[in-house]
A and B are shown apart, each in its own frame.
Chain A
Amino acid sequence: MKASSLSMRLGLTVSLMGAGLVVLLATLAYLALTHELEKLARKGLESKMEQIQHSLALGLDTRDIRARPHSLMDLVMGHDNFYLTIVGTAPNEAVLLSIGAKPQEPLLTDFAPSQNLGYLNWDDGNGNQVLSASSLMRLASGERVRVLLSLDRRDDQALLSAYLRSTVIALPLLLLLIGIGAWWVVQRGLAPLQQFSRVAAKVTTQDLTRRLAVDNLPKELGELAQGINFMLQRLDGGVQQLSQFSDDLAHELRAPLTNLMGKAQVTLSRERPPQEYKAVLESSTEEMERLARIVSDMLFLAQVSHPAARVSFAPVSLAAEARRVMELFALSAEDKQLTLSLDGDASVHGDRLMIQRAISNLLSNAIRHTPHASTVSVRVETHGQQVSLSVGNPGPGIEAQHLPNLFERFYRVDSSRARSEGGTGLGLAIVRSIMTLHQGRAEVSSEPGDFTVFRLVFPLHTNAICP
């Protein structure tokens, strides 16, 4: 079936259901009315017949019926829709009395001569329904006569047909009303959806600030709107972060590029002895090395953050990897008279190289920020369903306002310092990406002026299948 408008479909469905209901009710009413009228007519006939029986039994004989029909006439004549015929019994079936203009004789053959009241519905040929009743009655003289009383039901018929007519006229109007009502109700109910689509049409990557109005929405749509708003919120955050990121990236690359270009141009602007050229090339190479490092870090981040990044995980001993990384940093630590300590061990499911990289980034930060002659401690612990590797060091610490942003790309607590020390500004972002890939997280807590702890939290590796 072709998809049509929801309001049209609902309106039509409701109209059809309404139509069915109305037709059913009208039919029931018609049937009930017919039945009641029939009952009333029979009751009327029955009581008249009783009265006729009564007057016949009060001492009329067949001749009296013919000669003095007044008492019977009084019974019937008051009502212009009664017809009475009295016929003698066999052998001489003469008509004794006939009040009213209907030829009723042929009807008698339809009734069996009986003491019981018999009824018959028939058509008088002009389209009028007639109800007749007949029975055998005993006169005071002991003779028997057949009495046939008919009721012209013209009025009942008129009533019924009037009812039918009004129903037929009212029905389409009613249906129209129901249809319009249903359409209106549905339109009103679906009005928020149009608001949704208006907002959706305006949402672009440039403008993600629009939100759906949640007030006055029915509960079901309200939940949907809140869901959509929440999604927009996250998209907005993501897009802003991306644009901030490319901003930062351009900025990060611009500084070394400006240096390189400026230095080259200054050098080339006049003749110099070869050693000077050599010195410029050497310093350029160092600067370019930093550029290359930023690019490889970015590539690494993109690779790790890519949802399709498939890395084969294997059990990795955190202490063993920490020891290897610490071996690498031993000399730098010794230079600053630092002690590196390692406690505990646990196995996690992960990629060895990436875990080494994460530990290395934390350790190099810790060594850089630890004052002379103190201790950087690495601790591997298991808490419930989590394994954590923490790198703690005394030192100036990090102010609380920086903590939430520390793992953002290119975020620097002191913008001038870290760059001169050669970092790319991506170290902690890489740590976070690596931890996300391992379904864990990276945390930091710091007491300014006292102690700083970075923590890598891994889910505990059970033997269950891992992605």
Chain B
Amino acid sequence: MRILVVEDEQKTAAYLQQGLTESGYVVDCAASGVDGLHLAAQHAYELVILDVNLPAKDGWEVLEQLRRDSSQRVMMLTARGRLADKIKGLDMGADDYLVKPFEFPELLARVRTLLRRSEHIPVPEVFQVSDLELDPRRHRAYRGTRRIDLTTKEFALLHVLMRQSGEVLTRTQIISLVWDMNFDCDTNVVEVSISRLRAKVDDQSDVKLIHTIRGVGYVLEARQ
């Protein structure tokens, strides 16, 4: 899948390109609005990641023109966090809006969500990673044949991790998805929950599934 990053700040563009490329996307970069429009007209990108502060032609103008010419998905990236700016961006047809500073895993998750919208991946009835199984409808989890006894929040946490297995989830994302708190809280709830969940899921097995990526977040996957 092909993504265009329109960003004039070189370092930002470089790490976005690296991060997205390593996640399996084909990434092109443009340093100005004009170049961006030019590239967008030449290739069929599934997603355009668009900075607002651009030289010559700013992000709003680029967005306007993109919306006129094509139906590419657009994610706005900006340092302006005011609600009015967000509303303006979404009103003008942006599909998503991310405020700097952001965490890269969050960007990645949003990119996946945006791109997933076009496909129709059937949601499996039972999630399975290695010998760990989770059945949301019956509210049960098994490690091999052993039934794991989980509290509601632990179950929700495991559900979130398994649904996005292989993706790194940040602390903020987890708090938002599991506790439905959409602001930065000063608490160690995620650390505590993960360590309890790990005790129930991983402690009795040789194959560890829940991994901490220090400084980034948590991921559930089977590692060789």
Contact = CB atoms under 8 A, between A and B. Distances in A.
A356 B183 contact: yes
A328 B189 contact: yes
Given A286-B215, A292-B101, A328 B187 contact: yes
B216 interface: yes
Interface stretch (A119-127, A175-183, A205-213, A357-365): A357-365
Nearest 6 Cβ contacts at the A-B interface? A285-B215, A282-B214, A282-B215, A331-B192, A292-B101, A364-B186
Contacts of A328: 175, 179, 181, 185, 187, 189
Nearest to B178: A328
A282 B179 CA distance: 26
Nearest to A283: B215
A357 B183 contact: yes
A303 to B, nearest CB: 7
A427 B81 contact: no
A330 B192 CA distance: 10
Interface in B153-187: 153, 175, 179-187
Interface stretch (A80-88, A132-140, A293-301): A293-301
A360 B180 CA distance: 13
B113 interface: no
A332 interface: yes
Interface residues of A, number: 34
B175 A423 contact: no
Contacts of B82: 303
Interface in B166-223: 175, 179-189, 192-193, 196, 214-216
Given A357-B183, A360-B181, A427-B186, A289 B215 contact: yes
Contacts of A335: 188, 192
Interface residues of B, number: 23
A329 B189 contact: yes
A330 B178 CA distance: 14
Contact of B81 (A286, A299, A330): A299
Contacts of A292: 101
B211 to A, nearest CB: 13
A324 interface: yes
A284 interface: yes
A260 B185 CA distance: 24
Nearest to A352: B182
A329 B153 CA distance: 12
Contact of A296 (B101, B192, B216): B101
A128 to B, nearest CB: 96
Contacts of B184: 293, 296-297
Interface of B: 81-83, 101, 153, 175, 179-189, 192-193, 196, 214-216
Interface string A321-337: 00011011111101100
Nearest to B192: A331
A332 B187 contact: yes
A324 B216 contact: no
A353 interface: yes
Contacts of B183: 353, 356-357, 360
A327 B179 contact: yes
A229 B193 CA distance: 57
A148 B195 CA distance: 142
A332 B81 contact: no
A281 interface: yes
A307 to B, nearest CB: 14
Nearest to B101: A292
A328 B157 CA distance: 13
Q: Among the interface residues B153, B181, B215, which one has the most CB atoms of the partner chain A within 10 A?
A: B215
Contacts of A360: 181, 183, 185-187
Contacts of A44: none
Contacts of A237: none
Nearest to A284: B215
A360 B185 CA distance: 7
Nearest to A286: B215
A332 B195 CA distance: 12
A337 to B, nearest CB: 13
A338 to B, nearest CB: 13
B86 to A, nearest CB: 12
27 contacts: A282-B214, A282-B215, A284-B215, A286-B214, A289-B215, A295-B101, A296-B184, A303-B82, A324-B181, A325-B181, A328-B181, A328-B185, A328-B187, A329-B187, A330-B189, A331-B193, A332-B188, A332-B192, A335-B192, A353-B182, A353-B183, A357-B185, A360-B181, A361-B186, A364-B186, A424-B186, A427-B186
